[in-house]
Amino acid sequence: MNRTILITGATSGFGHAIANTFASSGDRLILTGRREDRLQALAKDINNAKEGTAWPLPFDVRDRRTVFDAIASLPAAWRAVDVLVNNAGLALGRDYFEEASLDDWDTMLDTNVKGVMYVTRAVWPLLRKPGGHILNIGSIAGKEVYEKGNGYCASKHALDALSKSMRADFLRHGVRVTAVHPGAAETEFSLVRFKGDATQASAVYAGYEPLVAKDVADIVHYCAGTPAHVCINEIVMTCTAQANSFYLKK
């Protein structure tokens, strides 16, 4: 389709799957993430496949100066962006409020909220107007809170509000904004949340069939491919076994 797509957090999980899905449509991809080795490997795979093309751009969305410097460093041929996918995000810890790590709170808010704000502001001058499209990857944790979800739920509720604010503010520019809110999805998410404890992480997905990264990537790709006069404001998606944050059939 020859669009230019910028994807944050492309080194694993949803971001990795989103990159491959857009590449299969022949799009040009600006891939960002903290782990440069993974980023380079993904870009090499996409470029070698000769369907899409990829430009790796490593940075941490939490670092405001680095974000703006990295986007500013893009060569002329990559300085017109059609679609921005704000995917970088994480959960850390699953603790009662009074026992939660303050460092975990800072990391989640800096990544899930401020990182989206920094990247969007940095990309804004390059985003096609009218016709550009911003997709923010949220969570059902941004729709309802649950026990021991405090910092993560707060960050995703903030992202939900931010997506709605962007939608209103960008109307005058003809830029679409879509929020995609997945439920339980088996990626590195729980392994990161439980800080490498594979037993705890795998237990989250035991007894039912969760979403996988490709499911979310397909929805993102669909939303980005609707006609120019159509904007899907938000999608809340779960696996069949999950109704919401509280009801899960195992």
Tally helices (H) and strands (E) across the chain.
9, 9
Give which of 166, 136, 143, 142 is closest to 156, Cα–Cα: 142
Are 130 and 78 within 8 A, CB to CB? Answer: no
Look up 146 and say whether it is catalytic: no
Angle CA 24–58–201, to nearest 5: 75
Q: Name the phi and psi angles at 45, rounded to 5.
A: -60, -45
How many C-beta atoms surround the C-beta of residue 76 within 10 A? Answer: 6
Catalytic residue, candidates 118, 146, 152, 208: 152
Query: Would you name the residues annotated as active-site residues?
Result: 152
